């Protein structure tokens, strides 16, 4: 099984994707220690984005808004902006499971989209590229097929889309659960954001996962210089 950045992606975008492949983990029962770390980061994020207009003014958020507009989704927001907006309103993020709670923490801290999928539920290779518009997609908690628009940037495997609008909404089929023991975590970066931010966020998250979930965590960075890797 491979993870491939498709050639059509590089026609319009400059992705720099941090990848963590984890195996043999325990994702059950997110701990109070993780909750404490997340609450502390929520408080820091709320302070950071306290002023009116500060969210949209952040350079990383601004870049992602331009990217979304470029593939025809300018009325939608990337996952990191959605998290920040929720926290800025005073809402605490719900406890989901260890992996999701930890990657939400890193997403808030670095103002960068982070997501993950259960490798045991994927079929064939994982790809990030432009949709043809015929792929199937059922969002987390959903039942109806909501196929992507043609040209929309999506994560997909051989069975269908597993995340629409690059990092906007994930599929139910490959979601991380407490039963997950093998997973891929992706830190969605861009050349405009800089490799160092992606690398720092990815490495810190890998350490957190190993500390709190056990198992092994392998890190790689994909870009136009290295557009694919072996997952399993």
Residue-by-residue DSSP string for 163-228: EETTTTEEBSTT---TT--EEEEEEEEETTT-HHHHHHHHHHHHHHHHHHH-SEEEEEEESSSS-E
What sign does the dihedral 150-148-193-84 (CA atoms) show? positive
pLDDT tens for 58-98 read 999 999 999 999 999 999 999 999 999 999 999 999 999 99
Q: Facing residues of 219 across strands?
A: 20
Total residue count of the chain as it appears in this document: 232
User: What is the SS3 assignment for 42?
Assistant: helix
For the chain, give the mean pLDDT: 97
Write down the pLDDT at residue 132.
96
Confidence label for 7 from pLDDT (cuts 50, 70 and 90): very high
Q: What is the pLDDT of residue 201?
A: 98
For residue range 153-189, list pLDDT tens digits in order. Answer: 999 999 999 999 999 999 999 999 999 999 999 999 9
Assessment of whether the complete model's pTM goes beyond 0.85:
yes
Residue 214: left (phi > 0), alpha (psi -120 to 50), or beta? left
**DSSP codes, 77-138:** --HHHHHHHHHHTTPPPPP--HHHHHHHHHHHHHT--EEEEEGGG--S-EEEEE--S-----
Domains annotated for the chain, with CATH where assigned, are: 2-134+145-227 (3.50.40.10)
Q: Tell me, what's the pLDDT at 159?
A: 97
């Amino acid at each position: 099984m491979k993870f491939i950045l498709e050639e059509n992606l590089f026609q319009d975008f400059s992705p720099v994707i941090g990848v963590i492949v984890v195996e043999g983990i325990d994702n059950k029962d997110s701990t109070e220690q993780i909750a404490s770390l997340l609450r502390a980061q929520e408080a820091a994020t709320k302070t950071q984005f306290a002023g009116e207009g500060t969210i949209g003014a952040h350079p990383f958020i601004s870049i992602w808004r331009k990217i979304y507009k470029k593939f025809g989704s300018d009325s939608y927001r990337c996952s990191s902006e959605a998290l920040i907006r929720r926290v800025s309103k005073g809402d605490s993020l719900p406890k989901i499971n260890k992996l999701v709670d930890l990657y939400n923490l890193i997403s808030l801290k670095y103002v960068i989209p982070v997501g993950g999928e259960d490798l045991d539920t994927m079929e064939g290779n994982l790809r990030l590229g432009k949709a043809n518009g015929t792929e199937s997609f059922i969002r987390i908690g959903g039942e109806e097929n909501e196929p992507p628009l043609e040209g929309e940037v999506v994560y997909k495997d051989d069975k269908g889309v597993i995340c629409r609008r690059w990092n906007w909404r994930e599929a139910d089929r490959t979601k991380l659960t407490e039963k997950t023991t093998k997973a891929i975590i992706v830190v969605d970066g861009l050349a405009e954001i800089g490799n160092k931010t992606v690398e720092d966020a990815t490495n810190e998250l890998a350490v957190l996962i190993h500390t709190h979930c056990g198992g092994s965590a392998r890190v790689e960075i994909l870009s136009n210089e290295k557009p694919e890797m072996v997952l399993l």
